[in-house]
Chain A
Amino acid sequence: MSITLEELAFRLNDHITDEGTSFDALLLDNGVLEVVCSNNDEFPIHLALTETQLLAVTPLFSVNEVMPNEVDNLNKVLLQLAPAVPLSAFGLQDDTYILFGAMALATSFETIVHELEVQAENTIDVLDAIQSLLA
């Protein structure tokens, strides 16, 4: 059984985790589900579906927000940090750095919620770690 974004939005808006995280889910016009987690309300997670996966993308910052001489350094550091956050990966979409994770469509609601909570937390940790390289 696979979940739809509408259903996911409905259930997320009505859910509080054991750690006290609540969600604000909004389905955008282009079919992307924007989820703001209460443990990190500055960097929303964007959810999209493919035939087999639920994709969770957190846009972090754009290349021009990195200190001009530190881009290569940042890329290297991100690769080095990647194994420490195995469930979310770093990526570069056009010139936006993103944190993203993918789940199978059959993933249970409880697991999805947990992954979102962890991704929101990882976002803060990652940004905190590399903050000195940002302009």
Chain B
Amino acid sequence: MSILKDIFTAIRGGASEAGEAIVDANAIRILEQEIREAENAIAKAKQSLTRLKGSEIKLKREINSLNTDYDDYEAKAIEALNAGQESLAEEVAERLEEIANERDEKTAEHKTLEGEVNAINKLVRSREKIIQKNKRDLEKVKTIKEVQKATTSISDNVAATSSSQHRVSKALDRVKAKQQNWRDNMEAGEWMETQEQGDDLDARLKQSGIGGSAGSKKSAILEKLKAKQKTG
């Protein structure tokens, strides 16, 4: 069962149009209950795991010690054989058999324990999966609820324009006009800047005597007139 399917069913049934909770409160309770149960199961599993781990460590230690004993007696049996003490070697062999039996028992027990630990770990992982899946589902429900809230809430300062004819087009026109106005102002600002820079440049050129000034033109014309007057 997925929560999206529930949501789909609710929407098809027209539930959201009446502003009802889109997902049955019962479905949410079930999800939350499952999360709580899974969390409890994990807590219990972790307790058993600690206990099992303790037994496992103890067994491992016992097996190791039996292995050491075995090697020890095996060396002694060979020594006895080398010394020609056949009956002593036979006794040691009996002892070796006992140790081997005990070791095999403990090893089998250890294997069973390992199996139990794996099973518990698997259970923990499956419960974790339920928790994560349910939390994601609850998040979907919560998201829908919040989006609904965010969509329907409009403050007084924007509500004024709602429900008039061509509302969107008018609003769009106003926004675009504002943006154009802003761009025009920017351009005007840039234009002013270049103008000011230009004026400044002209002034500096004039100061340095570069570029024709009105005064010098006048004197040039006067020179020409005087020259004409002489020839005339």
Contacts and interface: CB of A to CB of B under 8 A. Distances in A.
Nearest to B19: A94
Contact of A42 (B149, B154, B174): B174
A104 B143 CA distance: 13
Contacts of A57: 147, 150-151
Given A127-B172, A128-B172, A134-B168, A46 B151 contact: yes
A32 interface: yes
A78 interface: no
Interface in A39-53: 39-44, 46-53
Q: How large is the interface on A (under 10, 10 to 19, 20 to 34, 35 or more residues)?
A: 35 or more
Contacts, number: 98
B149 A43 contact: no
B155 A60 contact: no
Interface SS, B side = helix
Q: How large is the interface on B (under 10, 10 to 19, 20 to 34, 35 or more residues)?
A: 20 to 34
Contacts of A42: 161, 171-172, 174-175
24 contacts: A34-B155, A41-B175, A41-B178, A42-B174, A42-B175, A46-B153, A48-B146, A48-B147, A48-B150, A49-B146, A51-B135, A65-B167, A91-B147, A93-B16, A93-B152, A94-B17, A94-B148, A94-B152, A96-B152, A98-B151, A124-B176, A124-B179, A134-B168, A135-B165
